């Protein structure tokens, strides 16, 4: 959904987004990038339950990405393919970027994975998140304590 500049809905949408905690999203993205598909799915799903309606498709799309890679690892081609299709459908409206996630880049990976799966391969490469996304702060070094 596109909003015109100055539209009251733009301010409402921005306020609604500010109310969504990034903690579950950040945790889910870290887990996703690390290949912890099940745990990433759980983190995204937990945030989805608390999210305002305008954020739910985005978070559900991320759930589908994690589950697709999980299904791939379990050798379930049909399940993987369906999850990839759902991920593309849910995430598409949020491209090119949403909540500091390069959605267009992620959709490219989903499309490549879908092509591979339809070609008979379940050997999906790891999900690579946008390197421009701010990294989580590093824990303090032992010498700093």
CATH number at residue 34: 1.10.3450.10
Question: How does pLDDT run across 50-88, given as a tens digit for each residue?
Answer: 999 999 999 999 999 999 999 999 999 999 999 999 999
140 assigned to some structural domain: no
User: What pLDDT, on a 0 to 100 scale, did the predictor assign at position 140?
Assistant: 52
Q: Is residue 34 domain-resident? A: yes
Segment (H or E) for 101: strand 101-102
Residue 20 preceded by cis peptide, ω within 30: no
Tell me the C-alpha distance between 99 and 133, whole Å. 10
Question: Is residue 6 in some structural domain?
Answer: no
Q: What element of type H or E holds 98? A: strand 97-98
In a domain, 2, yes or no: no
Give the number of other CB atoms < 10 A from CB of residue 131: 8
Confidence of residue 8 (pLDDT cuts 50, 70, 90): very low
Domain count, the chain: 1
pTM score, whole prediction = 0.76
Burial bucket for residue 47 (CB in 10 Å: 0-12, 13-18, 19+) = buried
pLDDT given at position 19: 44
Is residue 46 situated within a structural domain? yes
Confidence of residue 13 (pLDDT cuts 50, 70, 90): very low
Closest to 28 (Cα-Cα) out of 48, 53, 55: 48
The residue among 55, 86, 102 whose CA lies nearest residue 47 is 55
Domain that holds residue 40: 17-122
133 in a domain, yes or no?
no
Whether residue 113 is contained in a domain is answered as: yes
Q: Is 8 domain-assigned?
A: no
């Amino acid at each position: 959904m596109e909003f015109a500049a100055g539209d009251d809905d733009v301010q409402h949408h921005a306020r609604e987004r500010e109310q969504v905690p990034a903690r579950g999203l950040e945790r889910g993205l870290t887990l996703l990038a690390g290949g912890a598909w099940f745990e990433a799915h759980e983190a995204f799903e937990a945030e989805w339950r608390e999210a305002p309606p305008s954020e739910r498709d985005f978070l559900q799309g991320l759930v589908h990405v994690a589950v697709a890679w999980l299904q791939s690892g379990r050798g379930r081609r049909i399940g993987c393919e369906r999850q990839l299709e759902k991920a593309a459908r849910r995430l598409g409206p949020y491209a090119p970027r949403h909540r500091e996630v390069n959605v267009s880049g992620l959709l490219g990976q989903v499309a490549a994975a879908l092509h591979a799966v339809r070609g008979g391969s379940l050997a999906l490469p790891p999900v690579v998140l946008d390197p421009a996304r701010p990294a989580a702060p590093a824990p303090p070094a032992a010498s700093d304590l």
